[in-house]
A and B are shown apart, each in its own frame.
Chain A
Amino acid sequence: MVDVAVIGAGQTKYGNHPSGLKGMWAEAAERAFASVDRDFEPRCVDEAFIGSVAFGGAQLGNTAALLTEHSGMDGIPVRRVENACASSGFALRDAWMAIKSGQADVVVAGGIEKMNDLSPERRRFWLGVSGDTEWERLAGLTFPGTYALMARRHFHEHGSNHDDLVNISVKNHMHGFENEMAHIRKEVSFEKAQSGFMVADPLTLYDCCPTSDGASAVILAADHVVRQFTDDPVWLRSSGAGSDFLALHDRPSITQVKATQQAAKSAYKAAGITAGDVDLAEVHDCFTIAELMATEDLGFTGRGEGGVFAREQRGVLNQGEVCINPSGGLKSKGHPLGATGTGQAVEVFKQLRGSVEAPRQVRDAEIGITHNVGGSGATCAVHVFGRDRA
Chain B
Amino acid sequence: MRSSRLWEGQSMSEILEWHGYFATFDEQALMIQSPFILEESITFGADSDYTTMTIAGLHLLFSRGIDVTKIKSISLVNAAAVKSATGVTVLSEDDSEDETCEWNLLVGEEATLVFTNDLERDLSFHGRADLESLDPTFAHDMAAAWAAELQTSNVSQGAYVSEAAYMEGANARLSFMAQSHDDKIVWPPRQMDADGQRLPEPNQPLMASATVESWTKLSAAGAPSEFALRAPVLGGIQTVFVRFEQGPCGVFLIADDEEYQPEIGDQVTFVVRRIYAQEGLIRYGMKAVPQRI
Given contacts A124-B224, A127-B158, A129-B159, contact A152 B214 (CB under 8 A): yes
Q: Are A137 and B161 within 8 A (Cβ)?
A: yes
* Of A13-21, A93-101, A142-150, A260-268, the one with at least 4 CB within 8 A of chain B: A142-150
Is the CB of B217 closer than 8 A to any CB of chain A?
yes
Q: Are B248 and A122 within 8 A (Cβ)?
A: no
Is the CB of A270 closer than 8 A to any CB of chain B?
no
Given contacts A127-B225, A142-B223, contact A156 B214 (CB under 8 A): yes
Q: Are A138 and B283 within 8 A (Cβ)?
A: yes
Q: Are B251 and A142 within 8 A (Cβ)?
A: no
Closest CB in chain B relative to A175 CB, distance in Å = 26
Closest CB in chain A relative to B170 CB, distance in Å = 11
Chain B proximity mask over A68-105: 1 for CB below 8 Å, otherwise 0: 00000000000000000000000000000000000000
Query: CA–CA, A128 to B231, complex, Å?
Result: 15
Q: Are B241 and A199 within 8 A (Cβ)?
A: no
Is the CB of A190 closer than 8 A to any CB of chain B?
no
- Chain B residues, Cβ within 8 Å of A125: 157-158
Is the CB of B264 closer than 8 A to any CB of chain A?
yes
Q: Are A145 and B239 within 8 A (Cβ)?
A: yes
Q: Are B222 and A142 within 8 A (Cβ)?
A: yes
CB within 8 Å of A: which of B203-240?
213-219, 221-228, 231, 237-239
Query: CA–CA, A145 to B166, complex, Å?
Result: 22
- Chain A residues, Cβ within 8 Å of B169: 134
Query: CA–CA, A199 to B217, complex, Å?
Result: 8
Closest CB in chain B relative to A82 CB, distance in Å = 14
Among A55, A122, A156, A201, max chain B CB count under 10 A is at A201
Is the CB of B20 closer than 8 A to any CB of chain A?
no
Give the residue name and chain of the B residue nearest to A150 (CB).
B214
CB within 8 Å of A: which of B159-187?
159-161, 165-166, 169
Closest CB in chain A relative to B187 CB, distance in Å = 9
Is the CB of A133 closer than 8 A to any CB of chain B?
yes
Give the residue name and chain of the A residue nearest to B249 (CB).
A249
Q: Are A134 and B161 within 8 A (Cβ)?
A: yes
Q: Are B161 and A153 within 8 A (Cβ)?
A: no
Q: Which of B216, B228, B250 contacts A152 (CB 8 A)?
A: B216
Given contacts A138-B275, A248-B251, A249-B249, contact A124 B228 (CB under 8 A): yes
Given contacts A124-B225, A128-B224, A156-B264, contact A141 B218 (CB under 8 A): yes
- Chain B residues, Cβ within 8 Å of A249: 188, 241, 248-251
Is the CB of A188 closer than 8 A to any CB of chain B?
no
Q: Which of A126, A133, A140, A201 contacts B223 (CB 8 A)?
A: A140
Is the CB of A305 closer than 8 A to any CB of chain B?
no
Among A125, A140, A145, A250, max chain B CB count under 10 A is at A140
Among B159, B166, B219, B228, max chain A CB count under 10 A is at B159
Give the residue name and chain of the B residue nearest to A251 (CB).
B249
- Chain A residues, Cβ within 8 Å of B249: 248-250
Q: Are B158 and A141 within 8 A (Cβ)?
A: no
- Chain B residues, Cβ within 8 Å of A145: 216, 218, 222, 237, 239
Among A150, A199, A249, max chain B CB count under 10 A is at A249
Give the residue name and chain of the A residue nearest to B190 (CB).
A250
Given contacts A122-B157, A128-B159, contact A134 B222 (CB under 8 A): no
Closest CB in chain B relative to A222 CB, distance in Å = 36
Is the CB of A2 closer than 8 A to any CB of chain B?
no
Give the residue name and chain of the A residue nearest to B223 (CB).
A140
- Chain A residues, Cβ within 8 Å of B166: 134
Is the CB of B18 closer than 8 A to any CB of chain A?
no
- Chain A residues, Cβ within 8 Å of B223: 124, 127, 140, 142
- Chain B residues, Cβ within 8 Å of A366: none
Given contacts A133-B161, A137-B161, contact A254 B214 (CB under 8 A): yes
Query: CA–CA, A122 to B225, complex, Å?
Result: 10
Q: Which of A124, A148, A149, A250 contacts B157 (CB 8 A)?
A: A124
- Chain B residues, Cβ within 8 Å of A129: 158-159
Is the CB of A34 closer than 8 A to any CB of chain B?
no
- Chain B residues, Cβ within 8 Å of A58: none
Chain A proximity mask over B90-120: 1 for CB below 8 Å, otherwise 0: 0000000000000000000000000000000
- Chain B residues, Cβ within 8 Å of A1: none
Is the CB of B253 closer than 8 A to any CB of chain A?
yes
Among B158, B166, B223, B276, max chain A CB count under 10 A is at B158
Given contacts A125-B158, A137-B226, A139-B253, contact A200 B218 (CB under 8 A): yes
Among A124, A141, A145, A202, max chain B CB count under 10 A is at A145
- Chain A residues, Cβ within 8 Å of B226: 137-138
Q: Are A142 and B218 within 8 A (Cβ)?
A: yes
Closest CB in chain B relative to A64 CB, distance in Å = 22
Is the CB of B202 closer than 8 A to any CB of chain A?
no
Is the CB of B45 closer than 8 A to any CB of chain A?
no
Of all A-B residue pairs in the complex, the 7 with the closest CB atoms, nearest first, are A140-B237, A148-B216, A249-B249, A139-B251, A128-B224, A124-B225, A153-B214
28 contacts between A and B (CB under 8 A): A124-B225, A124-B228, A125-B158, A127-B157, A127-B223, A127-B225, A128-B158, A128-B159, A129-B159, A138-B161, A139-B251, A139-B253, A141-B239, A144-B218, A145-B218, A145-B239, A149-B216, A149-B241, A152-B215, A152-B264, A153-B213, A153-B264, A199-B219, A200-B217, A201-B216, A247-B251, A248-B241, A254-B214
Kindly list 15 other residue pairs between chains A and B, CB separation below 8 angstroms, not including A55-B158, A149-B215. A125-B158, A133-B161, A134-B166, A134-B169, A135-B250, A138-B226, A140-B237, A140-B238, A144-B219, A149-B239, A152-B216, A199-B219, A203-B216, A250-B188, A254-B241
